[in-house]
Structure 1
Amino acid sequence: MAAGLAVAATAASAQVLTAEIPFSFTMGSEKLMQPGNYNFRSNAHIWSIRNNDSHKAALAMSYAATHTTQAATPKLVFHCRTNSCALYAIEIGGGDGALFLEPRRSKADADELAHVVIVPLTSSSAE
């Protein structure tokens, strides 16, 4: 039984999520990520993100886990304002996802209501 759980845990951590993100954004910090094709991987609450075009990478710690149904579509959820977008959530679909803190904003940006932008994710095995 324990061996089966270990194999399942290894398989889950080997999952790579891919998305084409057509705009600049921040993820869990002030670091600005450029538009491009990205891979997302998680190790518990630490998420790595890698731009496949520029090969730049970043790490972010989620502050909460999300759980979605098997039928849920994998997606990224961004909160966008006039001058910026921030990754708010990763929803895997049939598994654990993550919520991220947004960066500090100027008073003008903080007073503006965010609009939600959804970017679909595709899932594959580790490369």
Structure 2
Amino acid sequence: MTNFTTRMMIAAATLVVAAGAASAQTMKAEIPFTFRAGDTVMAPGTYEIHRIHKQSGTPLFRVSDSRGEHAIALMPIGSGDPKKAWEAGGAPLLSFDCVASRCALSGIWTGPLTPAYVIRHGKLGNDEPVRVALIEMRPNKSE
């Protein structure tokens, strides 16, 4: 094996490890509106989002308020490539579907080199237009 090939393999392995570590860390988001996460109504405030791996490999996300008083575990119903604009921005995002003043968490993207996860939610309204609200997440500095 050439020296160049060895260096490229080490660089690729380092990138994979760094991406895995970044996606496993706890993220924090300031959510300025009431929202539904799964079947639970959550108040506006600071939330921590932590990706937990089950043994099956299916991710589970824990969403909790910053005081640790309210928390919910969410299992995505699917995943796929993030939107091009999300990748271009590079920052991890929470996506919310909103109708009038009702919003529900609909997606979680933990950043580059990770899929965007789809979160199930109930119907928000009857025949009203749905708008999407995006909230940027940042690494939780207390870890």
> How many angstroms apart in 2 are the aligned matches of 1:46 and 1:82?
29
Corresponding residue SS for 2:126: helix
Which structure 2 residue ranges, 5 or more long, are not aligned? 1-12, 53-57
**Secondary structure in 1 aligned to 2:39?**
coil
TM-score scaled by length of structure 2: 0.69
Does the CA contact (< 8 Å) of 1:15 and 1:125 recur in 2?
no
AA matched with 2:33? F
* Bigger Cα Rg: 2
**Could you say what the CA RMSD is over the residues aligned between the two structures, in angstroms?**
2.7
Equivalent position to 1:30, from 27, 39, 58: 39
- Shift of the 10–78 alpha-carbon distance from structure 1 to 2, 3 Å rule, reads closer
TM-score by length of structure 1 reads 0.77
> In the alignment, which residue of structure 1 is the partner of 2:4?
none
- What count of residue pairs does the alignment treat as equivalent? 120
Indicate the structure with greater strand content: 1
Does 1 or 2 have the higher relative contact order (CA < 8 Å, sep 6+)?
1
Unmatched runs of 5 consecutive residues or more in structure 1: none
* Percent identical: 27
Shift of the 14–74 alpha-carbon distance from structure 1 to 2, 3 Å rule, reads closer
Separation (CA, whole Å) in 1 of partners of 2:59 and 2:78: 8
Q: Partner of 1:110: helix, strand, or coil?
A: coil
Structure 1 or 2: more helix by fraction: 2
Q: 1:113 to 1:101 in 2, by over 3 A?
A: same
